[in-house]
């Protein structure tokens, strides 16, 4: 069996997120004590959990519908779009706060049909103020990615675009072209120089524009 590398952050109340989003809620609909009191079980108990969150939180995947009203939503994605040969591009020495990533870093790459994962190292700042001042994919780089036709682009930052650019070029160029996006990845440095298969499958929710994933890599596969 291939070694597995978890590339996902944990969803919990005080996690980094867009400032306008409420904290996720995780709580018991009924606890083990409640189950014992209800008399539904003999010699055992159980807990039923309720979870509430905005779907663009944690390590999550954007469907085309996120920025294209006629695009496929999360439930309409094929599994072949979510299990892909991967390539990790090491940008750690070219990443700076609130700064564009260099488009020429894509020179010579063959990424058609693959998951291209942009390793900026910014996940090291998870939980810090610095995490909100991340590098981003500028328009020139997004245009090149659109032409190069990866199946998916992932990044280890809060969002792939600059939050100061209301045109959101990476989202508006990639998603309508059917190129999926995964944000808030982590541990991408462990993939640099490696052969791997990338997996990022969300729950199949009709009408959802985005949804958290348990993203991971199968090393050597």
pLDDT in tens, 172-183: 999 999 999 999
SS3 25: strand
For residue 40, pLDDT beyond 90: no
For residue 108, pLDDT beyond 80: yes
In this predicted structure, what is the pLDDT of residue 71?
98
Dihedral sign of CA atoms 188, 190, 196, 199 in order: negative
For residue 1, pLDDT beyond 80: no
Domain span(s) for CATH 3.50.30.50 in the chain: 3-9+55-219
The region, left, alpha or beta by phi > 0 then psi within -120 to 50, assigned to residue 113 is left
The CA distance from 147 to 173, in Å, is 10
Query: Tell me: the pLDDT tens digits for 44-73?
Result: 999 999 999 999 999 999 999 999 999 999
The CA distance from 172 to 169, in Å, is 5
For 209, residues 6+ apart whose C-beta sits below 8 A from its C-beta are 55, 56, 62, 63, 65, 66, 73, 74
In this predicted structure, what is the pLDDT of residue 139?
98
pTM attached to this predicted model: 0.96
In this predicted structure, what is the pLDDT of residue 2?
80
The CA distance from 157 to 155, in Å, is 6
Would you identify the CATH topology of the domain 3-9+55-219? Answer: Glucose Oxidase; domain 1 (3.50.30)
Instruction: Specify whether the CB–CB gap between 190 and 156 falls below 8 A.
Output: no
């Amino acid at each position: 069996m291939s070694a597995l590398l978890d590339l996902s952050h944990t969803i919990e109340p005080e996690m980094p997120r867009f400032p306008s989003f409420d904290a996720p809620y995780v709580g018991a609909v009924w606890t083990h004590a409640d189950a014992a009191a209800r008399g539904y079980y003999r010699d055992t108990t159980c807990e039923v959990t309720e979870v509430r969150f905005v779907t663009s939180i944690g390590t999550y995947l954007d469907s085309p519908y996120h920025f294209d009203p006629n695009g496929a939503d999360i439930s309409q994605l094929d599994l072949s779009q979510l299990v892909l040969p991967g390539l990790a591009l090491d940008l750690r020495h070219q990443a700076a706060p609130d700064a564009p990533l260099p488009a020429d870093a894509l020179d010579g790459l063959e990424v058609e049909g693959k998951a291209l994962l942009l390793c900026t190292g910014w996940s090291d700042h998870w939980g810090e103020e610095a995490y909100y001042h991340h590098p981003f994919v500028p328009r020139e780089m997004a245009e090149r990615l659109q032409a190069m036709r990866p199946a998916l682009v992932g990044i280890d930052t809060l969002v792939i675009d600059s939050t100061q650019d209301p045109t959101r070029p990476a989202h508006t160029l990639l998603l309508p072209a059917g190129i999926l996006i995964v944000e808030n990845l982590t541990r991408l440095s462990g993939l640099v120089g490696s052969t791997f298969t990338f997996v990022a499958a969300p729950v199949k929710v009709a009408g959802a524009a985005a949804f958290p994933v348990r993203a991971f890599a199968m090393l050597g596969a």
